[in-house]
Structure 1
């Protein structure tokens, strides 16, 4: 496939991509290519759309397209922007994403991410031709001009700079010089640690060497390492579970078929002098960026590979997170230097999990949320699937007629719907609850969650925010009246636990006891949007663990009492002005003795209609009556399950395993009769 890239002056302002699609008709026997051109050019530069194959893109596509792009720009020319054609169908008001590449400068480092990213970003990739000798300061100026031009046209949307390796230095430099612009930095293994890396010139080039005209085998090894392709191919081949001889054979074949032509083209166009020049530019880029870190005020998300053999990225990530004022970090222990080419890396999921994607000046947890795709859900679900396997949940729901059924058919498909229930110890019911409703009904529950999952007032002993990425990927939002309002406005299915942390961290003997506030916090809001309220109960926490040390026990120990107070001061306090037990929200971790796993049970009561009752429920007395009705229904659901589970012959995991051994491990395990 031939790839056409529009050139622009090194210091030119890049125009916006707007528009119509033009498909060129190739001459007979020649490959077809597609280009999207700008409808309005503010200056003489342009961003061109280039066509790449969509669906199932792999590392092989990266190599093939890199070969074509390197060959197409072999004549030189200044750096230029291009936007892959598959990135054209994006959401309204999508922010601009500028991808800044690593040392080689091809600009295809996000190719495995293009299709998903292209739905939520306006993506421009910087291509730096192999023979180009634009200085680092000129590259900074070019990116800066682009940023300023685009921001002046759409000042209410942020601009994302995704810098990989060398591109990370470029992103930091631009951010340091443009604090008046709303920039968000995504830095993948940034080369700011270059002086501590294995790529130092004195390591690669002994002083006695004379520069040959073409690259020798040792430099091919360096390029091979830089591309990250061999380690990727080894990992992919090893996952096929072949014999050692077959693995070696496949690696050799893949290397010969795909990697060798890539390196061969590089060796034809990239001399040792050019590579040395590029390495020296990385060194100067690192020095430039490091000297200006104090001036960077933009939000930054640093993505670090645990197996980066080119740069000491793990140590560098920790250093940068201490120096940048608004910085978060994510570590991927099994990944190499070229992070975005690693299988299983999904940048969209990373951004959602880190609450790092927004389309306006401020993050909106409702409108900016991106639901997971089926594959993304599976990636979240698989590591936690053992909980569902161990507890084998029983799901019951109630039809509008009042009939109880052994499935989730009673749950309304159309929102807004508010699920109101009981919070088990440590919220252990959340995983089977959310996953079952997703898998059986294709409904995503948007949980109302404690602020500690989203922000910390100060650093301390609370888990890092990355520990809660899974909850954010699955749609959790911080508890607040505006967020509940927005969820109902968007006709969402919302999950609410009025008892909150007090219920999830209850004391001994308080199992299945509700700790709800006195005020009817959610009833008026539900009535305003005509939301159906579904009361539900869940039991089974006493089947899997016994509470040994609760809040009272821990607080009686002076050291632990002080530790709990410190933990509580690290996050936003809720209901501090409320009366009663529900206001006691101190954070602590109770000590639980695990049992041989029993079973979880969920019972969703009959939906309570609020449609047409908005005026009626403005009356405080009637509102309170409905609130108490919901609470009573939740208690009834819990009581029903506690009584019925006594007749479940498969309540114990050993009985369930015996049943599956006879009927197959995919068979549905019976429970009590209705």
Structure 2
């Protein structure tokens, strides 16, 4: 079942749970702070330690938020009204950067109206309903302390997580160690409630230090850390050198408000570029920036309310201890960690610090955002949930289930994938053919079964070049998401891959679009959920073939996928692809590389890090050492796909219990794949638009929306 690079996409459907919002018997510190109670009840659910439930009469463990509606009534709604026929996850549009900033200050202003009481958790009501058994997400704020930093992400994240945000009142002077103990009490309480579910700690700047400190003190708790520009590098910041001066002249801190505001607003050139990409003329973009500057000036007073001089001075002093605390314990952190670093962080050397933490932490991923500033969650275009999907970080149990924990792409996410690969689809100009029930071959994908389970079985072109046009065309034409059975190397491990050929981000799209590691268990789960599954029996051996081996199938001798397909009555759709020889030719292959010690050592190291999928297999298919063949590019030709007539397995369970019958069906599928390829190789010779030059000429004389013709069927 091994395959390499097999992309994308899921089966349709979620099972959603109702989100219960109970009536709160008490709002955090409402007896001491009526302002806080009145300002939070419209949008937030607030809590304090040892609050009690009026509905159940039971005591809520420490730091458990209590949710309530506008008038304290119970509140519930369905998680989604989306149709079960769509393979997409429901879209929740994120605001632009300027709207994110406005929304942040609106929420922060309400939260800062009262400055009394201790730090506490609140649960935003606008998060909506979430999936059943959603994990808990604790947001740990940066230097502002309001807990409003994720405001623009609440609706999207709230569908997948139970979100609690830490609010540190303006005049609160709780020390960093005490904050660590507070968060620690919360995770211990919630871990006791739900021991089989992970707890996510999303820490921003100062909150990143807090998350690492808690993780270091609780190495045996199942935590997932998401750290955005953590302030563990504060000792290397230029602000650190200014602290003695600011201690002597604290009134000079007033000058820092415009600077902090500029950090929150992000790079003006990036906003200008985003405006022009949305269709604004340069003059309109400059006008929008000027309007933004006027609006920004009104936020200075709000920022001064959130961080008055004495509070800002306190927070800057806290950063010294906050950065030192986790750094001295970094070796004890065992939690799965995602590091998010910005390239234009003018406050901290975040990308250098991210690289240091990546090496220091035992289980870490890193994603870099070169054009973003310190306040990453407020940046235009940044979507935290999409990042979590790309890294494959979402799970609801102790172990990631690639099928049940999978979050499908939204329309917007798929559109981004489509747009980012449009150039390749246009260059390859794929011809898609399918076979109807009566055996007729037609242009298009009408012969593809709509209802699963369906198992696509085909030839893996050189480097998996066929994947992008294949999966995008299935989605665009038939609304079908094909989930690929892929080589484990696509799923980033925590080993230090010194020999890796590609950056980890290269595989993000595969994970987001539903690829799963090759295993019988994953194939079983996908077929049992009636998915459309993409399988390449030739795997890496086929995709990384040697010189002169194009269009040669390297399938294992045993019929490894047939029995699984028969068990679920899946339709098997054999398909062939040709065109790789029109784009490149291998000139330095595996055999050549193994003759040179440098390349041989590199291949052996890379193979050891990624592992062999078919270590127990024999013959050619077992030779799946990880390497990268060198290719001479050619003047681009064209890709051709042909899907054979679907092979029904429903009702053949007893017939195919016989091993010989099962193997006959396996050989039939292989023969159909070879026949599809032979048909395409013959017919493409009569395609007048096989050359890119003829296609460009056709597009120049016709509307670009016209489909480029091909050979006669």
TM-score w.r.t. length of structure 2: 0.86
647-656 or 556-565, larger mean C-alpha shift: 556-565
Over 3 Å counting, the alpha-carbon distance change for 1:415 and 1:210 in structure 2 is closer
Over 3 Å counting, the alpha-carbon distance change for 1:596 and 1:133 in structure 2 is same
Task: Check if 1:511 corresponds to 2:567.
Answer: no
Match of 2:85 in 1: none
1:184 to 214, 217, 224: 224
2:504 to 465, 470, 474: 465
Cα separation, 2, equivalents of 1:570 and 1:508: 26
Task: Check if 1:128 corresponds to 2:130.
Answer: no
Q: CA deviation at 1:335?
A: 1.2
1:647 to 686, 689, 694: 686
Task: Please list, as runs of the form range in 1=range in 2, the aligned pairs for 1:178-327 lying within 5 A after superposition.
Answer: 178-200=218-240, 202=242, 205=245, 209=249, 211=251, 216=254, 218-228=255-265, 231=268, 233=271, 236-237=274-275, 239=277, 247-257=285-295, 259-268=296-305, 270-327=307-364
Q: How many residues align?
A: 646
Task: Check if 1:478 corresponds to 2:523.
Answer: no
1:409 to 446, 464, 467: 446
1:422-480 per-position Cα deviation (integer Å, ceiling 9, x unaligned): 01111110110011101111111111111111245652211343321111111111111
Moved over 6 A (4+): none
Cα separation, 1, equivalents of 2:411 and 2:592: 44
Match of 1:109 in 2: 149
Asked if structure 1 preserves the Cα contact closer than 8 Å seen for 2:445 and 2:478, the reply is yes
Cα separation, 1, equivalents of 2:164 and 2:95: 19
233-242 or 455-464, larger mean C-alpha shift: 233-242
Asked if structure 2 preserves the Cα contact closer than 8 Å seen for 1:434 and 1:445, the reply is yes
SS of 2:318 mapped into structure 1 = helix
Task: Please list, as runs of the form range in 1=range in 2, the aligned pairs for 1:59-138 lying within 5 A after superposition.
Answer: 59-77=98-116, 78-138=118-178
Cα separation, 1, equivalents of 2:640 and 2:23: 54
Q: CA deviation at 1:116?
A: 1.7
Which structure 1 residue ranges, 5 or more long, are not aligned? 1-16, 23-29
1:42 to 46, 52, 60: 60
Match of 1:391 in 2: 428
Which structure 2 residue ranges, 5 or more long, are not aligned? 1-18, 25-38, 47-52, 71-91
Q: Which has the higher contact order (CA 8 A, sep 6+)?
A: 2
Over 3 Å counting, the alpha-carbon distance change for 1:645 and 1:237 in structure 2 is closer
Cα separation, 2, equivalents of 1:204 and 1:260: 28
409-418 or 54-63, larger mean C-alpha shift: 54-63
Q: CA deviation at 1:48?
A: 5.4
1:530 to 553, 559, 569: 569
Task: Check if 1:588 corresponds to 2:627.
Answer: yes
Over 3 Å counting, the alpha-carbon distance change for 1:604 and 1:219 in structure 2 is same
Task: Check if 1:33 corresponds to 2:42.
Answer: yes
CA RMSD in angstroms, aligned pairs only: 2.5
Task: Check if 1:351 corresponds to 2:391.
Answer: no
1:444 to 474, 481, 499: 481
Match of 1:10 in 2: none
Q: CA deviation at 1:272?
A: 2.0
1:565-613 per-position Cα deviation (integer Å, ceiling 9, x unaligned): 2222221112222121111111221111111110000000000011111
Match of 1:611 in 2: 650
Over 3 Å counting, the alpha-carbon distance change for 1:61 and 1:493 in structure 2 is same
Match of 2:16 in 1: none
SS of 2:138 mapped into structure 1 = strand
Asked if structure 1 preserves the Cα contact closer than 8 Å seen for 2:266 and 2:373, the reply is no
Cα separation, 2, equivalents of 1:175 and 1:632: 55
Cα separation, 2, equivalents of 1:388 and 1:21: 54
Match of 1:425 in 2: 462
Asked if structure 2 preserves the Cα contact closer than 8 Å seen for 1:50 and 1:83, the reply is no
Match of 1:369 in 2: 406
515-524 or 549-558, larger mean C-alpha shift: 549-558
1:313-340 per-position Cα deviation (integer Å, ceiling 9, x unaligned): 0110111111111111111111111112
